[in-house]
Every structure is written in C-alpha cells, then in structure tokens.
C-alpha cells in the first residue's frame, strides 16, 4: 500500500530553495564562500571553536579516527546500539571496535561497564548521543581522564540537544554531526566535525581535501587525504536550515508531546521515549518500546501491519554486533549484549518530522492501537 505518512521528511521551504539557486548562479560551487560561513555559524550554534564541514557523517567519523591517529590494532570502546557507521569508522583504519552494553533508559553507552573492557590497547571511547539523548558525559570524561583515553562524541542524532548551557557536540575531544534528510536539519548529504582543538581541526581540513594544507593553492599533498569535501550548494542549504533550526527543533518537540498524549491510553503495551532529566532533548526519531511480553516476531508483525496501513515505520536500531559481517568476521552472537538486544527486539520508530500535524500523529496512534488488537493481552 502507498504510504500516507512517511517515516521522515525534510523540512524545506522557499528560502532553502532560493539559497541553493543563488549558489548555482555563481561559479563557486565548491570551496567557495558558503563553506566557511556555514562552518562558522555552525560552530557558533554548537559552541565549539572549530567546525569543519564534510560530505557526510560517516566521513566525519572517519576523519576523526585519522586525525586522532587511531589505527592498526588500537581498540576503541563503543556502543553496539547505533547506526553502523559509528563502529565501522573504527574498522576503516584497521582498529578494533570493542562493544560495551548500553543503559536501558537513555540507550547510550553504560559507563559502569567500560572499565572491564579497557586493555593496554584501548585508545579511545566513542560514545553516541542516541536519538537525541546525551550520553553520560561526565562519567565518560572521568573514565577517559583516569585511563588517558581519547573521547569522541558521535552527535549525528543530537544536534541541538542541550544540558544547562552545554550543547551536544561539546562534551568530548571532538564530535561529529550528520545532515542526511531525516536529521533535525539537512544539507541533502553532509556532515560536520567540531572541536576546540585548532590542530585537530587543521588536520581534518587537510584530510578532507586530499592532504593539502590550507595555504596551498596548488597540487601539493602533505599526507594521505581523501575527497570528503562538501559543495557550496550543500552549505547554502545548511545555512538556510541552520537559521530555522531552533524552530524545527521546537516543532519536533511539539510532535513528541502529541505522541505522548495520543499514546497515553496504550501505556500497558507501548512505552513512549523517556524524558532525560536536565536535558532539553532535540529529537532525531520517535522510537517507542513495546512491553516485554511482545516478542521480536510480534514487533515485526506490528511493523508490517503499520506499513500495510500507510504508516511508515522501522526497526531502530538492529544491533551492530549482530549484523552479518560483524558475526562473520568477529564471531559475535546473540546473548553478547543483552540490554542492546532486548531494546533492539522491542523498538519501533514511528513517523517523525517537524511538519507532522496533530492529525497525522492521531492517525499513527489509532493505527497502532488497531494493530495491537492482533495481540490479545
């Protein structure tokens, strides 16, 4: 059946379109003036000294690995409950992701389990701000300091989340963001590396642009780099979106509130996302958790039902350690990370985007309610 309410949708307006068109009328489609403008305004929003825009979130993570010199047999402690690139980036440089289970409430890395995973090869902790929740940064920083480890924040899902005055992206040695169209703001494809460390930023700038140093105008390559540049077309869209980001985040928070009200009657079967104390969460997705009595099979059937009735939905996330190539190449199996696995078996991402109407939310809730009738309590 044709989906009537998609899982996600970018929030694009006429100003966004005009911003893109304006760049297309200039000869500078890449490495033009929109790049530094986007970087400076983004850094000011997040609260870091430096921001380096790149082609997507995955390559921002990859560049973080390279700039921090994480490679060959180094170990990086990270979460199995994330989008796959937060673990893959460690493999890109032949280092080893060492998974540690998550907290059942924020779904972020459990700091109490980290010390048991530290070995003489451990070089860094890479934690993810899952769905917009902030990881337990105070504890993570204390652990990193105690064991002299680097700390990396994957904030691809948490742009705008704030604790006191501190925003996602400012809690570690460096952080990354992503701007795929399902994110809080989009550049089509795009990503950002942020840090307060000028040397690190300079290295990432060089690596994104084929190993050139910034002052080089010609074909001088000082190190092995990549083409991870982002075009000025994307940056123009990013600037326009960034100017509306606080509004878009507020609209998303309104949608969360409508869901909370709409799902209140289903509380025995469907648990809504918890509110994180002290944090103003900027929501990336709206993920509900089915009660324990439901099996993964039940959850899949419910997802199928929603899709057949025009409601976009997805399983968020499947465990990284149980992905086919992680099982095959690293021998991971079911049972290795029980909390991650239980969450992954019970969660469903429902439609979520800033322009979602109250009527849309009501339709999703109604369809979910009807779908649950197939599983008598």
Residues that bind ligand PLP (CB under 6 A): 56-58, 82-83, 85-86, 128, 154, 156-157, 178, 180, 191
Closer CB to ligand PLP, 124 or 372, in the complex = 124
Task: State the nearest-atom distance from the C-beta of 341 to ligand PLP, in Å.
Answer: 18
As given in the structure block, the two tokens for residue 262 are 């709409």
Q: How do beta strands 162-163 and 279-280 pair?
A: antiparallel
* Farthest CA pair distance, the chain: 69
Residue 133 has what DSSP assignment?
Answer: P
Closer CB to ligand PLP, 276 or 301, in the complex = 276
Closer CB to ligand PLP, 128 or 263, in the complex = 128
Task: State the nearest-atom distance from the C-beta of 60 to ligand PLP, in Å.
Answer: 8
Task: State the nearest-atom distance from the C-beta of 248 to ligand PLP, in Å.
Answer: 17
Task: State the nearest-atom distance from the C-beta of 109 to ligand PLP, in Å.
Answer: 12
Q: Which helix (H) or strand (E) holds 349?
A: strand 347-350
Closer CB to ligand PLP, 83 or 259, in the complex = 83
As given in the structure block, the two tokens for residue 307 are 């899709």
Q: Is the dihedral of CA 229, 233, 238, 243 positive or negative?
A: positive
Q: CA-to-CA distance for 273 and 106, rounded, in angstroms? A: 9
Closer CB to ligand PLP, 157 or 345, in the complex = 157
The answer to whether the beta carbons of residues 129 and 108 sit under 8 Å apart is yes
Q: CA-to-CA distance for 325 and 320, rounded, in angstroms? A: 9
Buried b / exposed e along 199-228 (16+ C-beta atoms within 10 A): ebbebbbbbbbbbbeeeeeeeeeeeebbeb
Closer CB to ligand PLP, 103 or 128, in the complex = 128
The residue whose Cβ lies closest to ligand PLP is 57
Q: CA-to-CA distance for 243 and 42, rounded, in angstroms? A: 10
Closer CB to ligand PLP, 231 or 367, in the complex = 231
Task: State the nearest-atom distance from the C-beta of 330 to ligand PLP, in Å.
Answer: 19
Place of tokens 């929003």: 45
């Amino acid at each position: 059946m044709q989906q009537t309410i998609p899982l996600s949708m970018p929030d694009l307006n006429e100003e966004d379109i005009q911003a893109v068109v304006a760049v297309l009328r200039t000869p500078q489609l890449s490495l033009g003036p929109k790049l530094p403008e986007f970087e400076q305004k983004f850094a000011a929003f997040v609260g870091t000294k430096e921001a380096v825009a790149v082609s997507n979130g995955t390559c921002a993570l990859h560049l973080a690995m390279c700039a921090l010199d994480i490679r060959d047999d180094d170990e990086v402690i990270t979460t199995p409950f994330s989008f796959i690139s937060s673990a893959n980036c460690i493999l890109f440089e032949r280092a080893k992701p060492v998974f540690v289970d998550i907290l059942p409430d924020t779904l972020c890395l459990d700091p109490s389990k980290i010390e048991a995973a530290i070995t003489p090869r451990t070089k860094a902790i890479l934690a993810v701000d899952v769905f917009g929740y902030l990881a337990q940064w105070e504890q993570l920083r204390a652990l990193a300091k105690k064991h002299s480890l680097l700390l990396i924040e994957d904030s691809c899902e948490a742009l705008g989340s704030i604790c006191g005055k501190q925003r996602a992206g400012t809690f570690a040695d460096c952080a990354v963001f992503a701007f795929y169209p399902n994110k809080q703001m989009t550049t089509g494809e795009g990503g950002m590396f942020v840090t307060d460390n000028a040397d690190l930023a300079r290295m990432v700038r060089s690596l994104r642009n084929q190993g050139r140093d910034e002052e080089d105008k010609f074909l001088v390559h000082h190190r092995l780099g990549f083409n991870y540049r982002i075009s000025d077309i994307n940056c123009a869209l990013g600037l326009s979106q960034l100017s509306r980001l606080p509004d878009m985040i507020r609209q998303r928070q309104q949608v969360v509130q409508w869901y909370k009200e709409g799902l209140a009657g289903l509380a025995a079967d469907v648990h809504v996302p918890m509110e994180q104390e002290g944090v103003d969460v900027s929501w990336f997705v709206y993920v509900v958790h089915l009660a324990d009595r439901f099996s993964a099979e039940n959850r899949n059937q419910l997802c199928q039902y929603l899709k057949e009735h025009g409601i976009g939905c997805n399983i968020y996330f499947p465990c990284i350690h149980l992905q086919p190539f992680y099982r095959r190449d690293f021998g991971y199996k079911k049972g290795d990370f029980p909390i991650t696995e239980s969450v992954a078996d019970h969660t469903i991402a429902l439609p979520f985007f800033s322009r979602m109407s109250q009527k849309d939310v009501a339709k999703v809730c109604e369809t979910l309610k009807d779908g649950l009738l197939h599983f008598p309590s």
